[in-house]
Structure 1
Amino acid sequence: MAIVGKDSKKTARVKGLISEEGLMPLLEHLGELRKRVIYVLIILTLGLALGISVAEPVYNYLMAQEPVNGMTLHTFSLWDGIGMYMKIAFIIAMIITLPFTAYQLWAFVKPALRKHEQRSTLKYIPFALIMFLIGLAFAYFVVFPLAFNFTRMVATHLNLEETYGVIQYFSFMFGILLPVSLLFEMPLVIMFLTALRIVNPKRLRKMRRVAYFIMAVIGVVVTPPDFISDILVIIPLIGLYEISVFLSGMVYRRQQAALKQRGLVDDDEIE
């Protein structure tokens, strides 16, 4: 970005990093962050309480679906029933807490944003929940059944008798659902970072190969150790990255257009 004049460049950069009231002291920043974290923990606790209260109907629904509806799950510990309830409650609490967490993050960085940046980034918050639910549905209806059936196929091929514990089953399920759902937040995170001028589409395109490698590693780490799950996660991740680059370009061009109106960039610098 070509800024017209050194003073203008310095002024624009500083205005993008601090509020009109000036840079808050470090301790004040930490105090504000602590307050936001406490708010999130309170909502998470309330979400867990609500999740526990509705865990049984959710459990009954999940047990009536493929691939577990034709199976009998077992308990191998006195704590397995409680553990199952807590796993379901935690997922419900995550869904409830996510948009509130996104809002608290926005509120924390709000002093460093201009008025129009505050309005534009605030619009991302509802989409955080939408993208999480899309990722949750994709993980539950696509990735999890294929991964589970693949592992059962291997066990059958080895002539192993199937005896599944309720904790093992739900740990396997949520070990797929939660990471994949969070990874679907990538486009929103990239758009938010672009709005904060931390990244831009040009930089994202330059680091595409590195990003693909990192996503392949993430896909292997967050999924069960079978290549079916890995492929089913890595391919959508690559697609999400390309969508993120495109959306980053949209945000970046709007930024450039706004700077052009203020006379801070040349016409040929707007992509």
Structure 2
Amino acid sequence: MTAKNANAEKEMSFLDHLEELRWHLIRSTGAVVLVATLAFVFKGIIFDGIIFWPKDAAFPTYKLLCKSAQAIGLDSFCFTELPFVIQSRTMAGQFSAHIWTSITAGFIVAFPYVLYEFWKFVSPGLHVNERKSARGFIFIASLLFFIGVLFGYFIVTPLSINFLGSYQVSAEVLNEFDISSFIGLVRACALSSGIIFELPIIIYILTKIGLVTPEFLRKYRKFALVIVLILSAIITPPDIASQVIVAIPVIILYEISIYISKAVVKRQNRKLASKA
């Protein structure tokens, strides 16, 4: 940024910043709406190919879990059909599901562009060296988010659907789920996992502004483990195996976050030493 541009940034009033933020939000919303419109048009791919796929016994996760169970002499996850049906009990049920699912798909696909707009708004207020050190932020944050969404979709979602879809308190009670309930489960599993996988980015930012240190993260590692298990219990079925499967990658992310925090602090100390 030139000295002229830097002075222009400094002279921007609060209302100017609000106006700038408004246009970033408009462009981000426009990207989400554009992708959501495409998702709305191609509803066959979105619903039959993605949303309802985890209900199919041929879903890859079920096949893998079935083979793994058979290898140790069990028959878990080996079935030909899940014992429940999906229905719509309101007049606008299917249309509402179509709209909100399209918006969710729009947000997920447009996530990198939303981050880009956020970065364009924030970056002018950073020093040149800070912008350089944060290079690759959009790519890494988007990659982590997409890995988290895929983890939630291929791991957390089928575990949840298999458990909750086959659970019965009595043979007298049939499992007939409303479409909004089923889609809400798939959406929550995917999005919550995507957000949880942003943990290294969050730790990086908190370390940069001085709210978190590697020592703090190491000291409260045990408490973090308890929080991770609680989060795993919230987004997975209430069985130990599912919670462990979800908790393992989050614990790995926490350990990576400690390393990232340590690297940030080292870099900051090196800069302070060079200025002294």
| TM score, norm. by length of structure 1 | 0.75
| 1:92 aligns with one of 64, 84, 105 | 105
Q: Output aligned runs, 1:153-232, within 5 Å.
A: 153-155=166-168, 158-159=170-171, 160-221=173-234, 223=235, 226-227=238-239, 230-232=243-245
Which piece of structure 1 moves more, 186-195 or 226-235?
A: 226-235
Shift of 1:249: 1.8
1:117 match: 130
Residue identity opposite 1:35 in structure 2: W
Q: Which amino acid aligns with 1:110?
A: S
Alpha-carbon spacing, 1:31–1:217, altered in 2? closer, same or farther (3 Å): farther
Secondary structure of 2:131's partner?
Answer: helix
Bigger relative contact order, structure 1 or 2 (CA pairs below 8 A, ≥6 apart): 1
29, 34, 37: which is aligned to 1:41?
29
Checking the alignment, whether the CA contact within 8 Å between 1:56 and 1:85 is kept in structure 2 is: no
Q: Partners of 1:44 and 1:145 in 2: how far apart?
A: 27
Segment drifting more, 178-187 vs 21-30: 21-30
Deviations along 1:165-223, one digit per CA (max 9) or x if unpaired, are: 333221221121111111111112222343455543234334444544544454445x2
Unaligned runs of 5+ in 2: 1-5, 58-80
1:144-185 CA-partner distances (Å, limit 9, x unpaired): 111222223422x63232323333221221121111111111
Give the Cα–Cα distance (whole angstroms) in 2 for the partners of residues 123 and 22 of structure 1. 26
Shift of 1:256: 3.0
- Tell which deviates more after alignment, 111-120 or 180-189: 111-120
Q: Determine what percentage of the aligned residue pairs are the same residue.
A: 27
For 2:51 and 2:21, the matched residues in 1 are separated by 40
Q: CA RMSD in A?
A: 2.9
Match of 1:61 in 2: 49
Q: Return closer, same or farther for 1:78/1:244 CA change in 2, 3 Å cut-off.
A: same
- The 1:64/1:44 distance shift into structure 2, 3 A limit, reads closer
Contact 1:117–1:195 under 8 Å retained in 2: no
Give the TM-score taking structure 2 as reference length.
0.74
Match runs of 1:67-146 below 5 Å = 67-68=55-56, 70=81, 72-146=85-159
Q: Indicate how the Cα distance of structure 1 residues 208 and 130 shifts in structure 2: closer, same or farther if over 3 A, else same.
A: same
Q: CA deviation at 1:225?
A: 6.5
Alpha-carbon distance change, 146 to 26 in structure 1, aligned in 2, over 3 angstroms:
same
Q: Which of 50, 62, 72 is the matching residue for 2:38?
A: 50
Q: CA deviation at 1:63?
A: 6.3
Once the two structures are TM-superposed, the CA of residue 93 in structure 1 deviates from its matched residue by 0.9
Quick one: which amino acid aligns to residue 240 of structure 1? L
Distance 1:107 1:193 in 2: 20
Whether the 8 Å contact between 1:134 and 1:181 is mirrored in structure 2 is: yes
Provide the C-alpha distance between the structure 2 equivalents of 1:227 and 1:202, rounded to a whole number of angstroms. Answer: 33
CA positional deviation for 1:33 = 2.8
Aligned length: 243
Change in 2 beyond 3 A, CA 1:78/1:243: same
Q: Secondary structure at the match of 1:73?
A: strand
CA distance in 1, matches of 2:215, 2:112: 29
Instruction: Tell which deviates more after alignment, 139-148 or 192-201.
Output: 192-201
Give the equivalent residue in structure 2 for 1:245: 258
CA 1:152 to 1:143, structure 2 compared with 1: closer, same or farther past 3 Å?
same
Letter aligned with residue 112 of structure 1? G
8 A contact 1:133–1:181 mirrored in 2:
yes
Question: Is contact 1:195–1:251 with CA below 8 Å preserved after alignment?
Answer: yes
